[in-house]
Amino acid sequence: MFRHKFPAQLVPLAVLFVLAMTALLVARAFLVPETFGDYGPYRANSVDEIAAQPIVYAGAKACEDCHDDIVALKSDSHHQGVACEACHGPAAGHVDAPDEVSPQIPRGRGYCPLCHGYNPSRPSGFPQILSDRHNPGRPCIACHDPHAPTLPRTPEECDACHREIANDKMVSPHTMLACTQCHSVPNEHLLSPRSARALKPTDPGTCAPCHSESGTAKFEAPTINFESHGERYLCWDCHYPHHPEAN
């Protein structure tokens, strides 16, 4: 009686459905790792496996024990905060068997631009190059000593390090102004930029020579009354001097 009423075309569909569900359950039983989901959507055993992996990094202290000359050189340089193994790779094997295992030495051009290639999100003042245009074909270590990376030639322009600011300024009405128009830059800043800082203007009168109503600007600069315009603020609290028309 039931068979008679049950539509025949549903039978194979029901069989297929049951087969698919069974296949899924069987696949789950075989393919889902045993400890999956114990702590979260991952295999709990993997934590123990990762903990059991051999340690490959020796740590900077181990390098210092033998290479004190390099450490002395590096500790005064811009790279004082860069760990040895950041460039030389994991060196635990080298510490265990110094004569048999040599750490890597990145001699090509591909490695240094990982940090020093131009990227607009890098902080201003961080030396950045365009790898394609910066002495193409020459390995970095031909001119720079990575353990004491003082520039072989003092940069002549500020944009060597302050690329992003230079880019902004280039498309602004301030493009023709020299950086030293507003910043006082001690000569030592070019050689030792961190210990001798370039100074930012603090005097609200910095902008006055061009932008006050009695200014002497050669160009057609917008002028304001410095006594009534935002008297409680410094100009650069509201205007970005490197690109004054930007928001």
Partner 1 sequence: MTPILPLLLLTIPGAEGYIYPNEYELHWSIHIVLYPYLTGLVAGAFILASLEKVFNVKVLQPIYRLALITSLAFLIAAPLPLMAHLGHPERSPEMFLTPHTSSAMAMFGFVYAWYLMVVLLLEIWFDYRKDIVIWSRDKKGLIKYVYKVLTLGVTDISERAIAFDQKACKFITVLGIPSAFLLHGYVGFIFGSVKANPWWSSVLMPIVFLFSAIVSGIALVLLVYVITSLVRWRRISMPCLNKLAELLLYAMIIDLSLEMLDFIHRLYESEESIEILSKMISSRLFISLIVTQLLIGSALPVLTLIFARFGRLPDEMRRMFYFIAAILVQVGIFATRWNVVIGGQLFSKSLRGLTTYKLEFFGIEGLLAAVILLLLPVLFLWILAKLLPPWVPEDQPHDTGHRTREVDLPPGSLPSSGTV
Nearer to partner 1, 59 or 117 (CB): 117
Please choose, from the candidates 125, 147, 141, 127, the residue with its C-alpha nearest in 3D space to the C-alpha of residue 75: 147
Instruction: Give residues in contact with partner 1 (CB under 8 A).
Output: 7-9, 11-13, 16, 20, 24, 27-28, 31-32, 36-37, 41, 118-122, 130, 133, 157, 159, 163-164, 166-168, 170-171, 246-247
Task: Compute the least distance from the CB of residue 31 to partner 1, in Å.
Answer: 6
CB of 106 to partner 1, least distance (A): 21
Distance CA 24, CA 35 (A): 19
Using the minimum distance from each CB to partner 1, give the nearer residue, 13 or 72.
13
Q: Which is nearer to partner 1, 9 or 228 (CB)?
A: 9
CA separation, residue 241 to residues 75, 112, 167, 175 (Å): 36, 32, 13, 11
Helix (H, G, I), strand (E, B) or coil at 224: strand
* CB of 42 vs partner 1, minimal distance in Å: 9
Q: How far is the CB of 186 from partner 1 (least distance, A)?
A: 22
In the complex, least distance from residue 95 CB atom to partner 1, rounded to whole angstroms: 32
Q: How far is 115 from 119, CA to CA, in rounded Å?
A: 9
The C-alpha angle 90, 98, 54, rounded to 5 degrees, equals 40
Given the complex with partner 1, which of 12 and 81 has the nearer CB atom?
A: 12
Amino acid at 196: A
Among candidate residues 111, 105, 63, the one with its CA nearest the CA of residue 88:
105
Judged by beta carbon, residue 121 or residue 195, the one nearer partner 1 is 121
